Structure 1
Amino acid sequence: MILLISDLHLQEERPDITRAFLDLLEGRARQAQALYILGDFFEAWIGDDAMTPYQASICQALRALSDSGTQIFLMHGNRDFLIGQAFCEAAGCTLLSDPCVVEMGGEPVLLMHGDSLCTRDLAYMKLRRYLRNPLSLWILRHLPLSTRQKLARKLRSESRTQTRMKANDIVDVTPEEVPRVMQQHGVRTLVHGHTHRPAIHKLALSNTPARRIVLGDWDRQGWALQVDEQGFQLAPFDFH
């Protein structure tokens, strides 16, 4: 069994989400061969050197799962793209590139966070290209901690404001971009998060059946995609 989750936006202010995640680590994830976390794992991450005691406790919980035998794979999201190798080594997880093709359920599956599919959001795509540039990343990681904290608050505030103002189709994936990316990578299944619109969309690529599986965000409930001999099953679960 393989589990895939995304968009937990873990933060100290949401102990209900934190508890649900820790329950997953101590329960279903212990039975899994692998756990994939496809971005926006934390609400914000301003550098491995700025890990808070809360974030360190999450890191330790991941390490315990890794030490139990479950492989953990982590992908950057738009909120936590500064997660680095130091965190991954401490947590016992492997950092994945975005996009990434993985063998899953007997077929190659394309994994993405999903923000790069929202190509109609021109302002965000421009910001993304700037922030993910290797030089920009180096500069960001070497800014004083206080400066990074202010910048993170500013970006989060602007993101919330702009998302409310943008049309729904702008902040969702671009329909034409999905088949283009899937054909580029030679897959019939794409799994991503980011849009907070959980669903399994049926597609056709060159008259061949295909699907796009969108993981849900953790807010009022949790979401997980389970891949096993029964296939790909996307389902919510309640917080306790």
Structure 2
Amino acid sequence: MGSAFSGKVVLVTGAANGIGKATALAFAAEGARLVLADIDSVNGEAVAASIRENGGDAQFSQCNVVDGEQVKALIGMIETTYGRLDCAFNNAGVEFEQSKLADAEETVFDRIMDVNVKGVWQCMRFEIPLMLKGGGGAIVNTGSIAALGAAPRMSAYAASKHAVLGLTRSVAVEYARQGIRVNAVCPAVIDTDMYRRAVELEPRRVDSIARLHPAGRVGKAEEIAAAVLYLCSDGAAFTTGIALPVDGGSTCI
């Protein structure tokens, strides 16, 4: 294992699968002490167990980030166990819709906004006080390239990710002088379970989705993890309030 984050306490939400899982494993490989959170306790526990089996330090806590009391309890547990929180990757999110706005369901809109926006807000409002007690920290929120432009047939999802960037930038300015950095990582299409479920419904879309990226392929979860670790690292000490695209060139066209 590496040592870039040796001894650092790191929280990853949405850690049971996909980008969250890949990021948890990457932090563990660099010596971090991990708290993993997700509503999926089976896969979340499995990720934590895998880290421990490989000599790492990880524990899992089931948490619905929409519920403020659950998030408060999660951060309270981190404070009781470790006394500090150095980094947080607020990654929990839900799948986007595939319909034009006038055909959308209100329940879908509410669910997307609750998890993708309120969930990030809930996490930061409890993470920040603990980070302040420790003299600062780094937060990375999961955005999307849908937050950097238009996303037809994904209007609620895009709106939620635009909101995440608004939260990220505003909070970055609020706490910059108190040693807390807040950034967002903005993936394009990434090869995760979420992506695979989508293409299983329409296998013909695989090639067309790949062509959306000048790199000619979809991204890997590990590539997003690498960006998150950079934003949390000392190498990014002068970086706050940014939305970092990791998108195979998608935002250039």
Using the size of structure 2 for normalisation, the TM-score is 0.34
Greater percentage in helix: 2
Using the size of structure 1 for normalisation, the TM-score is 0.35
Greater percentage in strand: 1
